[in-house]
Each structure stands twice: as structure tokens, then as C-alpha cells.
């Protein structure tokens, strides 16, 4: 049971890091010097954090 819990925590942390990296790539893709769209994906980590603020 201890090993399962450790693996679950590791998996969830990896998913969280991946979510932040994909969100960061989405922000960078929309904030170039040529265009300022600011229409990010629905579940962007930074949009969600701003909503919770």
C-alpha cells in the first residue's frame, strides 16, 4: 500500500508539472511580439490561478 501511495503521488506531481509546462508553452505561443491574442486554452494553469485569486 505504501508503494502504491508513493507511485500515485509521483504520478500526480508529474501530471502537475506537465500541465504547467503545457500552459507555459500556450502563453508563449500567444504572446509573441507580432500578436497579442491572449486567448489561452480553457484549462491553462495560469488562467485557473488568476481565476482563483
pLDDT tens per residue across span 10-40? 999 999 999 999 999 988 888 776 766 678 8
pLDDT at position 47 is 86
- Which distant-in-sequence residues (6+ apart) come within 8 Å of 45 by Cβ? 19, 20, 23, 24
Distance, in Å, from the CA atom of 21 to the CA atom of 15, rounded to the nearest integer, reads: 10
pTM check: above 0.75: yes
pLDDT beyond 90 at 49: no
pLDDT at position 4 is 95
Distance, in Å, from the CA atom of 13 to the CA atom of 11, rounded to the nearest integer, reads: 5
Residues 44-49 have a mean pLDDT of 89
Amino acid at each position: 500500500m505504501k508503494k502504491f501511495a508513493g507511485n500515485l503521488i509521483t504520478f500526480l506531481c508529474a501530471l502537475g508539472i506537465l500541465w504547467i509546462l503545457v500552459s507555459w508553452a500556450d502563453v508563449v505561443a500567444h504572446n509573441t511580439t507580432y500578436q497579442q491574442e491572449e486567448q489561452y486554452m480553457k484549462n491553462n494553469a495560469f488562467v485557473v490561478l488568476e481565476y482563483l485569486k
